[in-house]
Amino acid sequence: MKKHSKTLSDAGKRKMIEQGMNVVAGLDLGDKHSHVCLIDLDGRIVESRKIRTSGPALEKYFSAWAEMRVVFEAGTHANWIYRLLERLGHQPLMADTHRLALITQSLTKDDRNDAERLATLGLRMPEMLNAVTPCSVETQHDRAVIKARDVLVATRTKLINSMRGTLKSIGYRLPACDSDAFVRKAGPDVPDELRDTLRPLLLLVQHVTDEIRRYDKRIEQLCKKYPATRRLRSIRGVGPITALAFVLNLDNDARRLANSRDAGARMGLCPKRRESGARSPELSITKSGDRMLRRLLVQCSQYILGRHGEDSALRRWGLRLAERGGKSAKRKAVVAVARKLSVLLHTLWKRDMDFDPFYGTAMETAAETA
């Protein structure tokens, strides 16, 4: 049997034995097949094998074992597998993928080695994996509505850009207009010689637009299901989609974040840190967490800082950052406002209060500096 150089401390062993565990499993998830590696409390491999990534196969395998800690990465299959393992009496640990550089950047990466490393980390350093709590089935279903709408919006954008590019290449230019009104305003300007060619694309754009409107109505209905979204929407620039996405990201439970200041980090809007000695380079944001929600928050930030944004302490703070010079300062200001906005949204939700544009500042001072 393969041995590791380090063993678990006696106190650690006693704790796991008291919990009824004598092995730890690492599960490297794949779309069709997954690799599982079981190690004992001394770090020796008990079993290493491949199984199908399906409910019946995983249930048959893990139901044959007593309670154990099962470590796997967050991903496509992670939520339902977490619920399955929990139902079988095990202790699932869904690891944050951003904490697994040892695996993702390994020079000897394969499914077998990945499963063994996951098991080893779960045995010796589970607290370093930043365990992710899965969302409920109901939340997954409601998030699917937002994701489906997002796919349709991206599809419509590609169709419109394709038509504009095709016409530009032969000397025609369609008028600028909102995507919702593209067929009505730009359709008549399509030249006759290309009308038959582009008609299918115009019909698709109109059909996709109609479906997007139906999703918008469904999202409005879902917002009624989650009352917290009303507080979030009290900020001008935060619409039903962003409000609902934010609430669902936390599984409709504001207590998932102990501190509102942690919201920016959860959304991946905080800068990376790589300090070494006297060096502290300025790095980009982490981009961890939900990519779609992060994009929605950035879009809200752009609106708040734009010409239609409501006068508020947040807007003024962001504009002062943007005035520091150049496009780079403007981009940083947008991200900074998005980060503060995420904290503000959680605060409003947690305190069950509406947005006050100048909360904590004197209204007279706000009027003087307007």
Q: Directed axis angle between helix 291-305 and helix 240-249, to 10°?
A: 140
The domain spans of the chain are 10-129, 137-225, 234-370
**Quick check: 311 pLDDT over 70?**
yes
**Across the chain, what does the average pLDDT equal?**
90
**Quick check: 370 pLDDT over 50?**
no
- Tokens at residue 129, please? 């994996």
Distance CA 30, CA 53 (A): 7
Distance CA 96, CA 98 (A): 5
Residue 211 neighbours by CB distance under 10 Å: 15
> 236 in helix, strand or coil?
coil
Confidence at residue 19, expressed as pLDDT on a 0 to 100 scale:
65
Rounded mean pLDDT of 196-209?
Answer: 97
Span 20-58, pLDDT tens digits = 678 999 999 999 999 999 999 988 999 999 999 999 999
Architecture of domain 10-129: 2-Layer Sandwich (3.30)
